[in-house]
Amino acid sequence: MTGAKNRRQGAATAPPELKDQDNEVTQGANGYESAHADDGPQENIFLLWPNIIGEHGMRYSRIVLAFASLYYMPLHPRTCSLLYTVSCLLDALDGYAARYFEQSTRFGAVLDMVTDRCTTACLLVFLSSAFPRWAIVFQGLISLDLASHYIHMYATLAMAGSESSHKNVDASRSRILSLYYTNKTFLFLACALNEAFFIALYLLSFSSPLLSPSLLQQTAVVPEVGAQVNSSLLKLVFANPHSAGALELARANKMDSFWPWVLAGVSFPVMALKQIINVVQLVKACKWLAEGDLKARRAMGLPRRKRKTA
């Protein structure tokens, strides 16, 4: 009690400048600095408006919609595609929300990147099971997407500092990466059409016997009530594809492969370009880290010259 009383008395008689310094920042034992409550209004980073209504969309809502789309993915292509598309389109609004509310945060930027990588990876995992012959391709795309973005982010933090954004790519390092990250229209179209191609493949796995020959085997079985049936295969199920039964079935569960093929054809070149950008991003980030390692080794006098022995 006496020691605590003496400390309080000492604080009360301390010079004003020392009191001000004590009220500004407290250094914790773990090395992080924390401000006191009287320094200004306190903010909860997890509840900032851009995190709630989304960076390039609803951040938290995007996660909920992504999980919902994954739930419907195995058996309900229309519902899944709608939820997945809305989740991706919301990614076009959160940046504006962050700037408008002056609440751009590193947490929000990382949350967006992680959400993008995870949703795309989950869709590619499904495509691997839907098209097992091409599983190695989809697995490679997942690995490339995760590796290129992780190494690029790490290289930015290690070489440019924690205050630098991974989107600040100098044209002298890579013109295509600089264009990709600084031109918002190019960035949006590249990401949107990349996702559109994979969504088209997902829909084709339900509607195109050309890509999914197993769909033809389903015609030998009488469809159950509410089961997924493809209208493009009605002529194989019914003698007259324009009969009342065929038309009723088509209206109840219409899934035609024409528009998914159109979407796949339009978006394929952009998807291929996006993968090229991922490769460039991976290579440039690795070279940037290697340059930093060389400078660090030279600063330490490495490699040491071997002494010649007589």
145 is catalytic: no
Residue 157 tokens, joined:
């933090």
Reference 50, options 85, 7, 98, 8; nearest CA is: 98
What is the phi/psi pair of residue 83, to 5°?
Answer: -65, -40
Contact at 8 Å (CB) between 39 and 21? no
How far separated are the first and last CA of the chain, in Å rounded? 74
Round to whole Å and give the CA distance between 92 and 54.
9
Name the token pair of 132: 């097992």
Helical ranges in 131-256 per DSSP H: 135-160, 175-182, 184-207, 214-217, 234-237, 244-252
The CA distance from 73 to 202, in Å, is: 9
What CA–CA distance (Å, rounded) separates 93 from 101? 12
Paired strand residues for 213: none
Q: Are residues 199 and 124 in contact, defined by beta-carbon separation less than 8 angstroms?
A: no
- Nearest Cα to Cα of residue 262 among 189, 200, 207, 190: 200
Closest CA to 177 of 142, 139, 148: 148
Residue in 251, 141, 126, 131 with CA at minimum distance from that of residue 194: 141
257 secondary structure, DSSP code: S
Which entry of 116, 145, 170, 256 is annotated as an active-site residue? 116
Contact 171, 178 (CB under 8 A): yes
Which positions are catalytic?
Answer: 116
